[in-house]
Structure formats: C-alpha cells, structure tokens
Amino acid sequence: MKCLLLLLLAGALHAAGPVRCAFDAKVVDWNYRCVTNNIYSFTYGNNGYYSSTRNQTHSLIASSVWMGAVRSAGLYPGNILRANLMCGASYNGTNGAGDCVLSACTNLIGSPQVPLINDTGGGMDLAVGVQYRWKYQETGTGGGLGCVSTNSYVVLNTGIMPTNVSAWKNDVHACIYMTIGGVENSVLMGASDVASTNVFAIETSYTTVGQASLIWFYLGNPASVDTDGTGLYLGTRTSGAANGVTQYHNGVSTGSSSSVSGDPAYLPFTIYVLGYNYAGTPLYSTARLCGGYALGRGLTATQNTNYYNAWQKFETLLGRQK
C-alpha cells in the first residue's frame, strides 16, 4: 500500500511539470506598463533608438513579496494610494539611467519611473532634469535612484495635487526609503503654496533640523535629531488634535506634533519626490539615492510596523536594505 501511494505521488508530480512563480496581479500590471510606457530611448551620438530592457525575474519576485506583505497587513487596497519601488530595468548608460543630454530624453529613465501602485496621481513619475543627470542601480549597497552628483538637479513629479485629495486632511501618510545617507539641505518629498501656509514635506538628516514631517503646516511639526539619512522615513496625520502628526524612522516613532493646521484643499501644486515643489518651482533637490516612496491614507502604530517590515523584506531582496 505504501509503495502504491509513493508511485501515485511521483506520477502526480511528474504530470504537474515545472514549478512556476506566481507574481502578484499588481506586479504583472506594473511590468506591462513598464514595457508599454518605455518602449524606446533616444541614443545621443548616433541619433538612433533602441528598445528598453525588460524587467528581470528578481524585480518581479521582490515586488511581489512587497505586495504580498502589504496585502496581508490590510494596507492594500486601502491605505496605499501610490507607491514606486524604484526597481526594474533602465536604459543603462554611464550612470545606469541613460546618457542623452537632449530635452527630448527628459522622461526616459525606464522602469524606475513607473509606479507599482498608481491609484492616484500620474501614470508615470515625470522626470525634471535631463537623462544624463540621473543615476540608477537596482541592486546592491549602492542601489537606488537619484542624481549623479550634488550639482546635478533632478526631481520626480508624481502628478498628485493635494487639492484634489481633500480627504487627506486628517487621513494621510507619506514615506520614503533612502539607500544613501548624509546631512544636507534637502527635502525628499513635498510641495508648498506661495506663502508656505499649506506645506507638505518629508525631511531627513536636514541640516540643523534632522528628521521632520510637515503635513499641511510648518509649525509644531514633529522633528528629531538625525544625521544618518538612510532607511524608511514615514510621516502620518490621523487627526486634527495637537499630536495628530507622528513620524517614524525604520519603524520606530521619533516624535509627534505639538499643533496641527494647514489644509490640502489649499495646496494646488503637485508633490515632487527627491525634491520640493515650491509653487511650481523645484527646490531643495537631494544628492542622495532613493529606494522607493509611497503616499496614502493615515496609519496606526501597528500598521506602521507591518509597513516597515514589508519595505525591509523588499529592499533586502535587492541587497540595498539599510
């Protein structure tokens, strides 16, 4: 009887054929959008075009692990409205993002420009700054997306205008994962009106400030000493109470606000990543590298912990965890 069962099991395994990886549906959709949105890149020097490199299996696996973790935690669908993990194939070149110096090449970095989740905002993160100023490496300790050097100005435009997401007032979060740190005068994500009355900004290792989360106002915001600048930084606003804004670094709370004000309904400028949109003018661009960002609804302390674990699993699979 035992031999018969073993034979039946062996036959079933043989009939099943090779084992296949099951990618998350959002990852399959992202992969399709990467191919269709980034078909060609202008090649400076010979005035020709070449096809984009398709995403590798490890990119799809790592992204599926992240999606599986946020789904299991109940964060998607629901809390996450937009997320770009800044992974996948690019147009290579000297610094990994293409060498074109012409304005026609502005928005052609490749897959790192295509958000995994784009339930709000633009279909792509539009690049401000021509192609050769960008630097990209998907895996390893030097992995991430950013600018070539401190004098190379680049930002990504998410297409999200807070005015159009008024429900965010007391129900919002923003996070960004930095793979290269250091102290500098930069804003890693944000936007502001002309009078700086309504402000949205995530700062890390900012000179004289440290980590700060300005969610719709710049007074009373949580701030803490930070000279590292790497890992996951998150700010969330969950109420209109004085302590309604809380910020975290690598899953650990680093402070809460002493007052809450400001309103996204009066902030008609799109949110930039790797820099700051001051009433339509890009400012405070970072010289560091980023491993992804996300925007969405407010998070509890427990949700923050689960979120951090999801990010860390993903970054570890790509070898760029901090």
DSSP 70: H
Distance, CA of 74 to CA of 241 (rounded, Å): 25
Judging by DSSP bridges, how do beta strands 199-206 and 134-137 pair with one another? Answer: unpaired
Return the higher-pLDDT residue of 276 and 130. Answer: 276
- pLDDT tens, residue by residue, 191-246: 999 999 999 999 999 999 999 999 999 889 999 999 999 999 999 999 999 999 99
Instruction: Compute and round to an integer the Cα radius of gyration of the chain.
Output: 21
Provide the residue ranges of all domains of the chain, joining segments of one domain with +: 25-317
Distance, CA of 248 to CA of 252 (rounded, Å): 5
Distance, CA of 322 to CA of 308 (rounded, Å): 12
Residue 280 pLDDT greater than 60, yes or no: yes
Q: Is-cis flag, bond preceding 222, omega within 30?
A: no
pLDDT of residue 104: 67
Residue 77 pLDDT greater than 70, yes or no: yes
DSSP 195: T
User: How many of the other CB atoms lie within 10 Å of CB of 170?
Assistant: 18
- pLDDT tens, residue by residue, 2-15: 333 333 333 333 33
Which of 17-21, 47-51, 244-248 bottoms out in mean pLDDT, i.e. has the lowest? 47-51
pLDDT of residue 179: 97
pLDDT of residue 98: 79
Return the higher-pLDDT residue of 66 and 148. Answer: 66
Arch. (CATH architecture) of 25-317: Sandwich (2.60)
- pLDDT tens, residue by residue, 154-190: 899 999 999 999 789 999 999 999 999 999 999 999 9
